[in-house]
Amino acid sequence: TKIFAYSIRKDEEPYLKEWAAAHPEVTVDYTADLLTPETAKQAAGADGVVVYQQLDYTPETLRALADEGITKMSLRNVGVDNIDMATAKELGFEITNVPVYSPNAIAEHAAIQTARILRQTKVLDRKIESGDLRWAPTIGREVRDQTIGVIGTGHIGQVYMQIMEGFGAKVIAYDVFHDPKLEEAGYYVDSLDDIYQQADVISLHVPALKNTIKMINDESIAKMKDDAVLVNVSRGALVDTDAVVRALDSGKLFGFVMDTYENEVGIFNADWRGKEFPDARLKDLIDRPNVLVTPHTAFYTTHAVRNMVVKAFDNNLALVNGETPDTPVKVG
Ligand code: COI
């Protein structure tokens, strides 16, 4: 049995080697390259591939892999929005993802950044570095005084809710799927409008789907409370960034946490030092004192990365062996 892995980073190598050592019956080979129509050949002879990339899995890419006889593909991440599912279905692909590698990684990051916005730590850091050690006007808002509106109550949303409750905040939630535990405890409001109207902090924990893309726009922001805080550690596509910029300019939004950005592919996780920065709008957001930009690093912890590698290989081996993997993805 042979499994080939794409875009393996240095920080993933130890976990890949740990998995390979525990599975001596499997030949594991890998590359740092992304999976593209050109690199598909590298997997020749493998029974399955383990992948992670933000680059699209285009029809051409999937076809190139299928031409090598490989249709068992295991993602090391959660999101499947960059796979051409129609082609995957047509070619008979079997796909898995890792939906719960560490909800805490992402939820913790969202919680930390929420608290930082409320306490204006970026403003304070800048003041202190410049030699200004005065208090005013940089006064904080306590988390316990906020109503936190959580959109999406999957694994990540739920951990975020627990952490914010730990701070003493009031938490309300919206989701099209109701978790019975949360339902019973009375967290759910009836509509997104209820969240927009009642929440001081709105945190997004939903996938990018037809009906969630650009859900945060001029119209939804207009419904929010003045001085609301928006937190997006899910998918850049959920937010109309221009609308958020307008709301920051007008003072409607108190702050914005962004770990994901609609045009992030090719910009995040790259070194722009000494080069021309490719996105003026993003540069402007990075420079703002009330915007916390991180380059899609909410997930990036040792705990998460290990689970992403190990669980993806476990899934792929199950596919290759004709067994039912733990976390199959619906193809189509
Ligand atoms: C995902 O798991 O879908 C993520 O967003 C993290 C990815 C950038 C590795």
* E runs forming strands in the chain: 2-5, 27-30, 48-51, 72-75, 94-96, 147-151, 170-174, 201-204, 228-232, 253-258, 291-293, 328-329
- Domain 103-293 in the same topology as domain 2-101+302-329: yes
Q: Rounded CA gap, 324 and 316, in Å?
A: 10
Q: Of 81, 118, 106, 120, give the one whose Cα is nearest residue 264.
A: 81
* Ligand 1 atom at minimum distance from 298 CA: 6
Instruction: Report domain extents, the chain.
Output: 2-101+302-329, 103-293
Evaluate: CB of 49 within 6 angstroms of ligand 1: no
* Per-residue H/E/C for 173-202: EECCCCCHHHHHCCCECCCHHHHHHHCCEE
Evaluate: CB of 78 within 6 angstroms of ligand 1: yes
Tokens describing residue 279: 């996105």
205 is an active site residue: no
Sequential pLDDT tens for the chain (332 residues): 999 999 999 999 999 999 999 999 999 999 999 999 999 999 999 999 999 998 999 999 999 999 999 999 999 998 899 999 999 999 999 999 999 999 999 999 999 999 999 999 999 999 999 999 999 999 999 999 999 999 999 999 999 999 999 999 999 999 999 999 999 999 999 999 999 999 999 999 999 999 999 999 999 999 999 999 999 999 999 999 999 999 999 999 999 999 999 999 999 999 999 999 999 999 999 999 999 999 999 999 999 999 999 999 999 999 999 999 999 999 98
Q: Which of 155, 205, 296, 306 is catalytic?
A: 296
What's the confidence (pLDDT) of residue 332? 87
Put the strands of the sheet holding 228-232 in their side by side order.
170-174, 147-151, 201-204, 228-232, 253-258, 291-293
Evaluate: CB of 268 within 6 angstroms of ligand 1: no
**Probe residue for ligand 1, chosen from 74, 78, 97 as the CB with the greatest number of ligand atoms within 8 Å:** 78
Q: Which of 235, 246, 276, 306 is catalytic?
A: 235
116 is an active site residue: no
68 is an active site residue: no
Do 166 and 194 touch, CB atoms closer than 8 A?
A: no
Q: Rounded CA gap, 104 and 100, in Å?
A: 9
Evaluate: CB of 299 within 6 angstroms of ligand 1: yes
106 C-alpha to ligand 1 centroid (Å): 10
300 C-alpha to ligand 1 centroid (Å): 9
Q: Is 222 exposed, middle or buried (0-12, 13-18, 19+ CB in 10 A)?
A: exposed
In this prediction, the answer to ipTM > 0.90 reads: yes
What's the confidence (pLDDT) of residue 90? 98
What's the confidence (pLDDT) of residue 109? 98
* Ligand 1 atom at minimum distance from 260 CA: 5
3-state secondary structure of 47: coil
| 228 DSSP assignment | E
Q: Rounded CA gap, 172 and 324, in Å?
A: 36
* Ligand 1 atom at minimum distance from 234 CA: 5
Tokens describing residue 189: 């409001």
Q: Is 37 exposed, middle or buried (0-12, 13-18, 19+ CB in 10 A)?
A: middle
264 C-alpha to ligand 1 centroid (Å): 12
CATH number of 2-101+302-329: 3.40.50.720
What's the confidence (pLDDT) of residue 94? 98
Q: Decide if domain 103-293 falls under CATH 3.40.50.720.
A: yes
What's the confidence (pLDDT) of residue 316? 98
325 C-alpha to ligand 1 centroid (Å): 20
What's the confidence (pLDDT) of residue 188? 98
299 C-alpha to ligand 1 centroid (Å): 6
